Copies of this chain bind each other. A is one copy, B any other.
Amino acid sequence: MSLDGFVAGPNQSVENPLGVGGMRLHEWVVPLTAWRKTHGMAGGEVNESSAVVEESVANIGATIMGRNMFGGHPGPWDERNPWNGWWGDNPPFHHPVFVLTHHLRQPLMLNGGTSFTFVTDGIRAALEQARGAAAGKDISLAGGAQVCAQYLKAGLVDEMEINLAPTLLGSGERLFDGVGDDLHGLKLARTVAAPNVVHLKFARG
């Protein structure tokens, strides 16, 4: 999230899913060994952010995301030529992913253990399916902003890691739009200062 509260820049599109300037929110993570590893790349840097990234991917059994984060395609998908999102043939999740959408679709089974299951009956149904798939492990809420806001507002978030980039975007998509004035029991639990980012972990007090 930017210092002014945006998690994506303006004018998001299939060509530029992060929006104008949105890449500036991720500059801290791309050089890290911990991030490169989940994307099948060797090498990289180690710094104060490394343990935060490692923690964020440890013990995750399922992921939930909105359809924009899956692939930006509004659907309905054409069965003869389906759009499989922008995660490629071997997405970096390596576990079941549940995509909130209004358009029914058969699950996608991809390489490396990632599947995409499309859920059309809301955030609680998606959470229930993810719980089943996770088999006791944690569930990651990957985004985008609207999906995060829905889960926050429903009080269904147990932990929240804000990776605060010390920059302004000026416009775009706000993480907390419509959430109101209530973090539903989440309290600041840990702060890590690192190059180009401050990590703020919230948890139940």
Report yes or no: A187 in contact with B170, Cβ–Cβ below 8 A: no
Q: In whole angstroms, what is the CA distance A122 to B182 when docked?
A: 38
Docked-complex contact A162 and B5, CB < 8 angstroms: no
Which residues of chain A from 77 to 107 have any CB-CB distance to chain B below 8 Å in the complex? none
The reply to whether the CB of A181 lies closer than 8 angstroms to some CB of chain B is yes
| Oligomer: number of copies | 2
Once bound together, how far apart are the Cα atoms of A92 and B45, in whole Å? Answer: 47
Tell me, in angstroms, the Cα distance from A10 to B193 when the chains sit together.
Answer: 31
Residues of B within 8 A of A5 (CB): 4-5
Answer yes or no: A166 CB below 8 A from chain B CBs. Answer: yes
A168 contact from B169, B179, B200, Cβ within 8 A: B179
**Chain A residues close to B by CB (< 8 Å):** 3-5, 21, 162, 166-171, 174-176, 179-183, 187-188, 191, 193, 196, 198, 200, 202
